[in-house]
Structure 1
Amino acid sequence: MRSKLYELRADLLLLSVAIAWGVTFLMVQDAINSTPVYAFLFFRFGIASILMFFIAYKYLNQINKRTIFYGVILGTFLFSAFATQTFGLLYTKSSIVAFITGLNVIFVPFLAYLIFKDHISKKVFIAAIVAVIGLYSLTMSGTLTVGIGEFLTLICAFLFALQIIYTGKFSKEVNVFLLVLFQLITVTILSLIFSLSLDDVTFNLSYDYAFFKAVLITAIFATVYAFLIQTYMQQFTTASKTAIIFAMEPVSAAIFAYFMISETLTSIQLSGAVLIVLATIIAEVKFKRKLKHTL
């Protein structure tokens, strides 16, 4: 019973992560209108790394090669997902990118089975399918074709799936705080390298209110809080359920956009949001068979 309560608490906190990502979506969108993407990622993850250092300070004596190695792996997965997603946006619509990225919800259970032989329950499989249908209805506004943009975004979804799967495994083996710290440091370093190589500017930016608001809020809530909660709570729940819960990100983004900028949703998009919520409920509810007793 206690383990079930831990799992429920973990799932609810993971839901708060999805909401944090969704709520900060508009801020990030505004910021990257005037700031190169990789430069923004460098500042976002750089500030997050500094904050995480002070949070993990008392555990620094537990640093070992395995912790650093695991953090670098997760950070590489995470940054590579951001990079392929960004390049994908150059070749196809953002709505298509959002949908294909969300396909990690179906990749996770199958990859977890292929890599670690994790069992896929029927309800999780059904929930994943429902979530994919919901994502399609909520995010798609163009014709889905197979081009370089779609291919890059498919790789992005695959990488996000790997990040979720390996976070669940690594979080049980090393100190969670240090694991998050080295993951964030890795993303910071890779973002700096890519920014210096590909962005027009990295440091000579327009440091306006939108930039500072987006960087600070995403660093605190969408990075430090989000990845610390994800890493810690995945000890108590499965990677497949985590992916389904994270499918709530576009739902929270749509709701926030509705209230903040009066962005309306079509009936199809609303039905998609409802399906994603339904998928989360299906993944969470415990179904019990009723036994018929005959006299």
Structure 2
Amino acid sequence: MHRIPITLPFSRQELALIAITVVWGATFLIIHAALHHSGPLFFVGLRFVTAGLMMALVFRRTLGGLTLRELMAGVLVGISIVGGYGLQTWGLQTISISQSAFITALYVPIVPLLQWAVLRRPPHLMSWLGIGCAFAGLILLAGPQAGALSLSIGELATLGSAVAIAAEIILIGRFAGSVDSRRVTVVQLLVGGVLSLLLVPAAGEQVPVFSWVLTGSVLGLGAASAVIQLTMNWAQKSVSPTRATVIYAGEPVWGGVFGRLAGDRLPAMALLGAALIVAGVIISELRPSSWRRRP
């Protein structure tokens, strides 16, 4: 009797990316709770320093082989982490978990725009369609006034975080194939955390009093951040940016689910806007010409 081999629709790397989108979505809820006990930059700094120290302990035997290229890659990604997670956390002080999750997802259609501006690679037609769809969704999600896009400070900060996260994705894709994922992960986490803490005085934040909620959030999100960054660096060695980006489209959906559990109740037009953003994320990465070439 012959056994019929079972072929999974996803590789191990793709399944890992799917898993971290669930974890990523849950972090919005934890951050929202932690911000009652800490300023955004101080919290982001503690989160990523903790994550970096965890990874340094786990991979301490490999750190001796750190190269100049890996150090440069880690520093650049670490700087983008400060912008991405710092602005996102700051925005969560004034907007809902669901709004933050869906606006953050705009990093996907922003990626081709950044590639056009920096690398002179014009976006594909589907990218333009996805950008238009996502922008329409942003208008509905933000709540337009008199037909114009009216973003609050928190929404603008979160939109800025999407730009920084898009830069992070481009940088990871640029270096993933030529560096050691473990060493780069340690460097980028520590750089992101230390830079955030150095910016605390400039932002006028105060060091918060001790809180078990804050401590638990830092430890939990530190471990989650370490796993997320390491998984992205590892998986994107073999998963194409297009495939990875479509998988990441599930992250705001999970963020919306956890936001709903936390009590978010978006109006119907905002829900439509959220759906348009997710649709725009997926459309921007579709390439119909590649479908016709497949047997």
Q: Cα deviation per residue 1:103-124 (whole Å; 9 max; x = unaligned)?
A: 3221102323554466855556
Identify the residue that residue 28 of structure 2 maps to in structure 1: 25
Given the superposition, is the C-alpha separation of residues 140 and 263 from structure 1 closer, same or farther in structure 2, using an over 3 Å criterion?
same
**Paired residues for 1:136-215 under 5 Å:** 137=140, 139-141=141-143, 143=145, 144-145=149-150, 153-202=158-207, 205-208=209-212, 210-215=213-218
2: CA distance between counterparts of 1:88 and 1:225?
24
Deviations 1:203-229 (A, max 9, x none): x52322x223322221112x0111111
Q: Per-residue deviation at 1:97? A: 6.1
Paired-residue identity, %: 27
**Taking structure 2 as the reference length, what is the TM-score of the superposition?**
0.77
Other structure's SS at 1:166 match = helix
Q: Distance in 1 between the 2:223 and 2:65 partners?
A: 24
What's the offset of the Cα at 1:160? 1.4
Q: Which residue does the alignment assign to 1:225?
A: 227
- DSSP 3-state at the match of 1:48: helix
Residues 149-195 of structure 1, C-alpha deviation per residue, up to 9 Å, x if partnerless?
A: 66655443322111110111111111011111100000111121122
- Measure how far apart 1:30 and its partner are: 0.8
Paired residue total: 282
Q: Paired residue for 2:82?
A: 79
What's the CA shift string for 1:48-95, capped at 9, x where partnerless?
1111112322322321121111101100011023334456678x7567
Give the residue type in structure 2 aligned to 1:218: L
Partner of 1:75, secondary structure, is helix
Larger displacement relative to structure 2 (262-271 or 223-232): 262-271
The root-mean-square deviation of aligned C-alpha atoms, in Å, is: 3.7
Give the whole-Å Cα distance in 2 for the aligned partners of 1:191 and 1:48: 13
The 5 A counterparts of 1:258-269 are 258=260, 260-269=261-270
Contact 2:109 2:281 in 1 (8 A): no
Letter of the structure 1 residue corresponding to residue 36 of structure 2: N
Task: Report the Cα distance in structure 2 between the residues aligned to 1:211 and 1:149, rounded to whole angstroms.
Answer: 22
Once the two structures are TM-superposed, the CA of residue 131 in structure 1 deviates from its matched residue by 5.0
The change in CA–CA distance for 1:247 and 1:197 in structure 2 (over 3 A counts) is: same
Alignment pair present for 1:52 and 2:30: no
Contact 2:45 2:193 (C-alpha < 8 Å) held by counterparts: yes
Structure 1 gap ranges (5+): none
CA distance in 1, matches of 2:271, 2:168: 29
Native 8 Å contact 2:25 2:101 kept in 1: no
Give distance in 2, aligned partners of 1:166 and 1:285: 22
Structure 1 residues 15 and 116: alpha-carbon distance in aligned structure 2, compared to 1, 3 A threshold: farther
Mapped contact 1:104–1:161 kept (Cα < 8 A): yes
* Distance in 1 separating the partners of 2:162 and 2:79: 14
Q: For the Cα contact (< 8 Å) 1:102–1:135, is it kept in 2?
A: no
3-state DSSP of counterpart to 1:145? coil
List alignment gaps of at least 5 residues for structure 2: 1-7
The whole-number CA distance in structure 1 between the counterparts of 2:55 and 2:23 is 17
Aligned to 1:38: 41
Cα distance, 1:18 vs structure 2: 2.4
TM-score where L is the length of structure 1: 0.77
Letter paired with 1:179: V
1:6-21 matches, within 5 Å, as: 9-21=12-24
